[in-house]
Structure 1
Amino acid sequence: MTEPAAARPTPRHLTELTDVYDFLDEVRLRPGMWVRGSSLQHLESMLLGYGAAMKVHGIEAAFDFWSPGAQRPFAEWLWRRNGRHSPLGWAVEIEREAQESETPAIELFFSLLDQYRAEQLPVR
């Protein structure tokens, strides 16, 4: 059964978004529009571009996915969760895990992102 239209979040214009998590909420709403083939490697590339644009424009804000010369909090959290480090990046590792569990990779990413955020929120 489908959700009533009033209960579903509606897409927002990019000018209404305030941070990377707002952007990822938009991706979650319509992943096929944002991420070619639902590939997490494409999503990771988009997030790298997002982080680079922040640096180019001098925007100092927490960014958990990549920062030159800095920690990568989401990836580090994932490595601790999985009990191993991977030089291939978080997208490849989540895609592998999704394939093993026969879960759509984008669905697994958002599930993991929700877990990560739930664990991080009290700290921030």
Structure 2
Amino acid sequence: MTKPKPPNECENVYAFLNQVRLRPGMWFRGSSLAHLDSMLLGYRVAMAVHDAEEDFPFWAPDGDTPFDTWLNERNGRASSLRWSTQIEREAEATSIPAIELFFTLLDQFRAEHQRPAR
């Protein structure tokens, strides 16, 4: 079992998300992925403020993020909804907790894009 570590020891967004995976209730309230989406937006803003560069699939200047694009292709349809809303709707329809479905999909996305977990 991976032990939790402080955010300043996370080398990228995937390492940070692995910390969220360990204890999601500590990072955001309830099961709303909108909270996680907002937190990742804050992460992206901090990257810009500190002029940090890293692979970040949850934000793009044109609005079509790599993760959104991948999710739309996976679902076989275009959607104007953010990834968080799409996953919450799928989770509700399948009775899978939204956070669990998010991490399953994130693992699939990373595997297809050859981003090994850290």
Match of 1:86 among 79, 85, 89: 79
User: AA paired with 1:84?
Assistant: R
Task: Give the structure 2 partner of residue 64 of structure 1.
Answer: 57
TM-score by length of 2: 0.91
- Residues 1-124 of structure 1 mapped to structure 2, 5 A cutoff: 8-69=1-62, 71-121=64-114
In the aligned structure 1, how far is the partner of 2:58 from the partner of 2:107? 14
Identity %: 57
- Scaled by the length of structure 1, the TM-score of the pair is 0.87
Which structure has the larger Rg over C-alpha atoms?
Answer: 1
**Mapped partners of 1:67, 1:50: distance in 2:** 13
Q: Which segments of 5 or more consecutive residues in structure 1 lack a partner in the other structure?
A: 1-7
Structure 1 runs (4+) greater than 2 angstroms displaced: 67-71
RMSD (Å), alpha carbons: 1.3
Structure 2 counterpart of 1:92, one-letter code:
T
Hey, what does 1:3 align to over in structure 2? none
Amino acid at match of 1:59: A
Alpha-carbon shift at residue 115 of structure 1 (Å): 0.4
Q: Tell me the CA shift for residue 94 of structure 1.
A: 0.3
- Cα deviation, 1:49-79, whole Å, max 9, x if unaligned, reads 1111111211122111003247511110000
- Structure 2 gaps of 5+ residues are none
Matched pairs, number: 115
Q: Quote the Cα distance in structure 1 between the aligned partners of 2:98 and 2:32.
A: 7
Task: Report the alpha carbon displacement of residue 103 of structure 1 after superposing the two structures with TM.
Answer: 0.3
Greater relative contact order, per chain length (Cα 8 Å cut-off, separation 6+): 2
